[in-house]
Structure 1
């Protein structure tokens, strides 16, 4: 959201360092590195994000803005780690693919959809009085976040808590306390004290990352993919403004190519993911396996380097779209695999993966200006394509 406002930030705070400008964008993602839990954590994290996001609208210098962006990123981390766990609570394995595909499109498409020309008349009408200042970006997202918070207070579920309430209801209706079915009541009455919950939530993702090689491997590739997306988000304006001398508004239209790649591929994958799962399940004449979610990663590892080469050497919209397609295919499939493989602990497993990819999302945009300045866009994207092939092709 803040990337298009780099020129305004430079003038407002007298910033002439490209790394500092990139950090203002990417520091938000650094806060995505840690969050576990479910409904209550989502609600509290959202309030935390809202408070610091509003604070960004009152900043007076770049240091305050970086600090406030980081804190709002901590609050914004919860949906990425927990949302898929909520979907796992609601849908069975055969229905989960399409739900995850639709859900996971939002955080990928979100950075582009905040541009005024993508959402069109509604955004322009709201922001018309203050479009000359970058501060309106924070007010508009805060207004939307309030609506989301009110909606979430009513509709966010958590399966173990729901089952505990169901068991308590059974006790009242059937007087099972002293009967042979006492374990129905006690099965979910584990220690839910604040200290125990916090201790488990803080160490479990790091423990899983330390002992699970599959999380390490897929986490590394997800980190590359996620970092690549933020690198593109921060460098697309510089390509079309500095090299082709396009006006900021026209240069920003090139984000539409990335949005098309993300959206179209996501919806196609949403339709195919569950069908592939059913096909492999029937072919193997047994229960479904988490590995049945991974076939779409194979074309993703081909589309991504191809898109990087085309975008780097020609700046053609088809290359940018292919990058978006590769990003969304790999992200959806890997996240779906993790949800199916770790079930009740999927939120912790996703938090372990998200920690690494958040660091990449923070670091890649900081390295991009230096890399492209020394190598150019063609050679720079060629190196990234080689890295994508080296990590991506063996991983699935």
Structure 2
């Protein structure tokens, strides 16, 4: 099996080239950089480097040369590429260092998602202090997640132009400052505004941390790294209610939860400044070209990003804000995976209302103990990570090695969904009908929450891996639109959760969610069977011959 990337024909006219898709242009830029030679350089210069991962070095280039696949360009001695500079390629950095950066990227995601649900256990105190309705109190959760719908439109695409580190350095002081604003808010209006703005800037890790992981790892090891990343989007929301719940029980001022967020954000900000390097290869090559121009005084040195600085508002918008939307409407794979992940993401935030109903009203737990039920959600996710690390990813690595280091079809990433998609639907019915009756043991709905956590982890993990494997250089943009749409669900679901559970009952409301989950059960089966054909029609994805 050979691998090719959809590339423009050398016979195209200048006018037709102006109508290329965004992905075509990105791929062509990469090809002009002769990234195919990375593989040869790595094999010659880095194969014996004990401090690096051999498989990741081999995977530094995902598009082997092929007469029909690539346009050959004469080598430009002033064109700065990874050839001869493989020490700059993140795939050649030491494995422990890359794992450290992976963990730190995951911590940034945990910070952002922890902040999203942090006030949930203190909503009664906030309602009483500001004398507002319950709907306004719940809005504090929804409005933060609504900020996730705005931020990714900028942070993801801009990181593909200016690098991951620069975006983090820009957004983090604002994000930290908005937590201070929440803590000092004199009225509910200012609190809502600061929560929304905080969500806009907190969205940066949700898109760019995934980009960092794609920068650091080849497909052979990326699955292990993504397992950590996939746990974070609901680890934060699972831990935050425990903290705020016990604050509510002990009578601690609700303002303290925002001071906790300020301290957490400040600590992560210091880490960004001193610990997080630039990982995006095109930006690293552009920085090297700039260094060479400065040291030699020769302005002919250039990198791929130097050649992609379009002028005009339309061109800038196409390559930044509009790019994720263009991809979403061009790519059915991206659309269906995003909608499935959005449903699951919405359910995670809906549980902030459902769990108190089941365990506080039905089983009479206080806010602190009710929040502890979220540990079952987190434990299920952790169990899913272990299952992936010790079963699913080793299977993937065997396939990767059997193909001689060539890229594995992205559909292999979806195999865990063949089990978890049906189990997710079952877990909803299980939670609803065992949680409705006080006579049923409290451990029955708790175990259902555990299974939900297990299945949610696999939906996120397989979704992230699949999108990154499919779109590679456009991964940050794909993750951006994914974050925007699923955040819309995450913001909307809590707003009607209480009314839905009060009207339909625990069993009926959970069964409705189970029915929606049932509709998505065929998705992984269809994509696994027909994914290759769909990708062959794609304008942005890797195409497998």
Q: Give the TM-score taking structure 2 as reference length.
A: 0.65
Q: 2:124 corresponds to which residue?
A: 7
Q: 2:372 corresponds to which residue?
A: 253
Decide whether aligned partners of structure 1 residues 161 and 379 sit closer, same or farther in structure 2, where only a CA change above 3 A counts.
Answer: same
1:317 matched to 2:446? The reply is yes
**How far apart, CA to CA, are the structure 2 residues paired with 1:167 and 1:93?**
28
**How far apart, CA to CA, are the structure 1 residues paired with 2:294 and 2:461?**
43
Question: Bigger CA drift: 365-374 or 265-274?
Answer: 265-274
Q: 1:376 corresponds to which residue?
A: 505
Q: Which of the numbers 159, 164, 168 marks the counterpart of 1:42? A: 168
Q: Please tell me whether the aligned partners of residues 309 and 382 of structure 1 are also in contact (alpha carbons under 8 angstroms).
A: yes
Structural mapping, 1:1-396, within 5 Å: 1-17=118-134, 19-34=135-150, 35=152, 36=156, 37=159, 38-115=164-241, 132-154=252-274, 155-157=276-278, 158-169=280-291, 185-192=302-309, 200-282=319-401, 287-315=407-435, 316-395=445-524, 396=527
Question: How far 1:262 sits from its partner (Å)?
Answer: 1.5
Question: Bigger CA drift: 310-319 or 269-278?
Answer: 269-278
Decide whether aligned partners of structure 1 residues 236 and 156 sit closer, same or farther in structure 2, where only a CA change above 3 A counts.
Answer: farther
Q: Please tell me whether the aligned partners of residues 56 and 138 of structure 1 are also in contact (alpha carbons under 8 angstroms).
A: yes
**How far apart, CA to CA, are the structure 1 residues paired with 2:390 and 2:284?**
30
Question: How far 1:168 sits from its partner (Å)?
Answer: 4.6
Superposition CA RMSD, Å = 2.7
TM-superposition CA deviations, 1:314-338 (whole Å, max 9, x none): 1321100111111111101111111
Question: Bigger CA drift: 38-47 or 134-143?
Answer: 38-47
**How far apart, CA to CA, are the structure 2 residues paired with 1:372 and 1:115?**
19
TM-superposition CA deviations, 1:261-284 (whole Å, max 9, x none): 122212322344432322333566
**How far apart, CA to CA, are the structure 2 residues paired with 1:135 and 1:338?**
39
Count matched residues.
Answer: 383
> Please, which runs of 5 or more residues in structure 1 have no aligned partner?
119-123
**How far apart, CA to CA, are the structure 2 residues paired with 1:355 and 1:187?**
29
More helix by share: 1
Question: How far 1:147 sits from its partner (Å)?
Answer: 1.3
**How far apart, CA to CA, are the structure 2 residues paired with 1:78 and 1:249?**
30
Decide whether aligned partners of structure 1 residues 299 and 175 sit closer, same or farther in structure 2, where only a CA change above 3 A counts.
Answer: farther
**How far apart, CA to CA, are the structure 1 residues paired with 2:488 and 2:174?**
21
Q: Give the TM-score taking structure 1 as reference length.
A: 0.89
Q: Please tell me whether the aligned partners of residues 98 and 271 of structure 1 are also in contact (alpha carbons under 8 angstroms).
A: no
Decide whether aligned partners of structure 1 residues 241 and 363 sit closer, same or farther in structure 2, where only a CA change above 3 A counts.
Answer: same
Q: 1:121 corresponds to which residue?
A: none
Question: How far 1:303 sits from its partner (Å)?
Answer: 2.1
Question: How far 1:67 sits from its partner (Å)?
Answer: 1.8
> Please, which runs of 5 or more residues in structure 2 have no aligned partner?
1-117, 436-444, 528-545
Decide whether aligned partners of structure 1 residues 231 and 311 sit closer, same or farther in structure 2, where only a CA change above 3 A counts.
Answer: same
